[in-house]
Amino acid sequence: MDLSLTPLLSSSTSRSTSSDSSKADDSPPVSGRFELQGVSKFQFPCKSLSGFQSYRSLAVLSGHMGSVSCLALCGEFILSASQGKDIIVWQQPDLRMFTKFGHGDGSVKALVTVGNKVFTAHQDSRIRVWKVSRSSENMFRLVNTLPTTKDYLGKFMKQSNYVHTRRHHKRLWIEHADSISCLTFYNGLIYSGSWDKTLKVWRISDLKCLESIKAHDDAVNGVVACRGVVYSASADGKIKAWGKEGKTNHSLKGILEGHKDVSLNSVIISEDGRWVYGGGSDGFVMGWEGNADFVSWKLVSETKAHQMAVLCMCLTGQFLCSGSADKTIGIWRREAYGILNKIGVIGGHEGPVKCLQASPNNVGGGFLLYSGGLDKSLRVWWVPKNSGKSEDIRTQNINRSLWT
């Protein structure tokens, strides 16, 4: 399960009673309208998924100043951020714009929600922390920037806290030296990956930077965590698995090798932590299976998913969705041995698909899929879950006899 999408509001919070009134200041307003009541109310034409199943285009949401770079589901809200520095909050089920925040804080590259806080990562190499409160007119209020001033003051006097970022340039080790590309949340910690090739670990309780890991030989493009293991995907063509024991720092547990000279742009993991998938710049989705102790991983599938680079992926149950620079979204079902079977292709974006997020809720026998693209739009799709004839996409260069 991707824990980077911890909801601000669960469906249960929508049904809170007056006994919860003491917590009102730290929770956004709720309307009790979290789930769509079925897609039949939307009078949109049903389109073919390239001859497989059908989907409905429910909405095309516009309003961003730049390409949509990241998404997060937050209870009854959808948050979308853009390269144009703005973050838009959309309210379900009517998909109307609820509010905007974040103007002027640098191009937004990633965001995660934890409790009543939103963490946003920016091109200016900083992480910003926003508090969500319905008691304030400014519902999304900036409360801190990472590294915090307190963290700076505790380290800037000591020379050993400085590291070389490039020739004749030094920074504190708690600072990213380049754009922050990805964020994830796990077990009280925020992990940030950057084009500076490092992975940093932040404690949520006091917003302190605990570690800086020299993770890769090239930019870190994606990070996800599950079952005590953190996975970072990089332009160096590798996914690295990191773990820690007790209070020790994170150490390298394994390397999941992709194709030679191919950037891995995204990484996702199944809810049980067993299957890891990486999306490559050559259009392939690679799949690895971890052993019971998550100390080794075996490449089990290689699927030519798109004609151009895979830029983003998401998982919901047995369905994997992939977004590509070819402007399409692939819908796949995960089968035995980690093999992906193609259910269909969604077209509609006028530019590369940069981010995807699927709703975990069942809606009319299917699920809602949200996609953001370089065409500055956020699109909402309905994808059926009912089984149909799948196109069997056989893995390449994998000896199935290893599993018999």
Mean pLDDT over 90-119 rounds to 88
Report whether 32 contacts 17 (CB < 8 A). no
Q: Specify the pTM.
A: 0.83
Domain residues of the chain, as ranges?
3-9+45-403
Residue 275 in this model has a pLDDT that exceeds 80: yes
Q: What string of DSSP letters covers 159-219?
A: GGGEEEEETTEEEETTS-SS-EEEEEEETTEEEEEETTSEEEEEETTTTEEEEEEE--SS-
Cα gap 114→175, rounded to integer Å: 22
- pLDDT grade for 167, boundaries at 50, 70 and 90: low
Res. 249: pLDDT tops 60: yes
**Is the model's pLDDT at 382 over the cut of 60?**
yes
Calculate what percentage of the chain has a pLDDT beyond 90.
61
What is the average pLDDT score of the chain?
83
**Helix (H) or strand (E) run with residue 106 in it:** none
The rounded radius of gyration (Å) of the Cα atoms in the chain is 21
Is the confidence at residue 27, as pLDDT, over 50?
Answer: no
> 231: closest CA among 302, 151, 286, 166?
286
3-9+45-403 belongs to which CATH class? mainly beta
- The rounded distance, in Å, linking the Cα atoms of 398 and 152 is 50
Q: How many CB atoms lie within 10 A of CB 365?
A: 11
Question: What does the pLDDT read at residue 213?
Answer: 97
Query: Rounded distance, CA 300 to CA 216, Å?
Result: 23
Mean pLDDT, residues 239-261 taken together = 93
The residue behind tokens 């304030």 is 136
pLDDT at 134: 73
Cα separation, 341 vs 381, whole angstroms: 20
**CB-neighbour burial class of residue 1 (10 A; exposed 0-12, middle 13-18, buried 19+):** middle
**pLDDT (tens digit per residue) in 218-242:** 999 999 999 999 999 999 999 999 9
> Residue 54 has what pLDDT?
67
pLDDT band at 79 (very low <50, low <70, confident <90, very high): very high
With contact defined as beta carbons under 8 Å apart, do 301 and 340 qualify?
yes
Residue 3 has a pLDDT of: 37
Residue written as token pair 């899929």? 369
Q: Identify whether 93 is preceded by a cis peptide bond (ω within 30 of 0).
A: yes
Q: For 194, phi and psi rounded to 5 degrees?
A: -140, 160
In this prediction, residues 182-207 reach a mean pLDDT of 97
Q: Is 146 helix (H, G, I), strand (E, B) or coil?
A: strand
Place of tokens 């332009």: 235
